[in-house]
Amino acid sequence: EMLTLLNFIVVVVVVLIGDSGVGKTNLLSRFARDEFNMDSKSTIGVEFATRTIKVDDKTIKAQIWDTGALAALLVYDISKHQTFKNVGRWLQELRDHADSNIVVILVGNKSDLRHLRAVSTEEAEDFAKSNELFFTETSALDNYKVEEAFVTILKETYRTLA
Ligand code: GDP
């Protein structure tokens, strides 16, 4: 149909960054394939995946890759305070090596681990605010706000390009 042909595709490169074991691989597999793996091997690099979403009638193809990022999910584990303390260092890595217009969302993953919470929402929100980052808490396990985290970053990145 003609309207469909008039749509265009914007490719957004997204990187997932953060300490080993915070859930980067599982956030990606949840978003891209709706899959979760309890025994996934922790990774430093990130696998490649793509998914297409629609924003305001435009098709956005998320090309998820480990270099050349325009958008980043900076992930920590809400049950491990050290992974939150390291967020500042990861942010510096992004500022030093990524595109200066990169859009970053701070993601507190494993929000299902309520009884083990070691990073308060307020503490993370304050950090995000003072560093001009978007912020959300997610659970790749419960499929809680994973979609929203990716869609937020894709929409905002699209806006900086448009
Ligand atoms: P990565 O090293 O950052 O890629 O982390 P992984 O995605 O490999 O996850 C590390 C471990 O945490 C694995 O055992 C996952 O099953 C687990 N995990 C990932 N996301 C969640 C989550 O949202 N909740 C819980 N409870 N465990 C998770």
Query: pLDDT tens-digit profile of 75-103?
Result: 999 999 999 999 999 998 888 877 788 89
ipTM: 0.99
**Strands of 134-137's sheet in order across:** 49-55, 58-64, 9-17, 71-77, 103-109, 134-137
Quote the ligand 1 centre to 133 CA distance (angstroms).
23
146: enclosing H helix or E strand: helix 146-161
**10: Cβ below 6 Å to ligand 1?**
no
pLDDT at 11 over 80: no
CA gap 30, 150 in Å, rounded: 11
Question: Which amino acid belongs to residue 105?
Answer: I
Quote the ligand 1 centre to 26 CA distance (angstroms).
6
Of 145, 143, 138, 147, give the one whose Cα is nearest residue 78: 138
Quote the ligand 1 centre to 91 CA distance (angstroms).
21
> For 19, which DSSP code?
S
Q: Tokens for 77, please give them.
A: 């584990």
pLDDT at 66 over 50: no
